[in-house]
Amino acid sequence: MHTTARIFKALGDETRLRILGLLTRGERCVCDLTAVLELPQSTVSRHLATLRNAGWVADRRQGLWMYYRLAGEENPLQQKAMELLRRELAALPQGKMDQESLAAYLATKSEAACR
**What pLDDT is attached to residue 1?**
77
**What pLDDT is attached to residue 72?**
66
Give per-10-residue mean pLDDT for the chain (115 aa).
Answer: 84 95 94 95 96 94 91 81 89 94 90 66
The CATH number for 46's domain is 1.10.10.10
Domain that holds residue 55: 2-108
Q: What are phi and psi of 16, to 5 degrees?
A: -65, -35
Task: Using DSSP, state whether 114 is helix, strand or coil.
Answer: coil
Q: What total number of domains does the chain contain?
A: 1
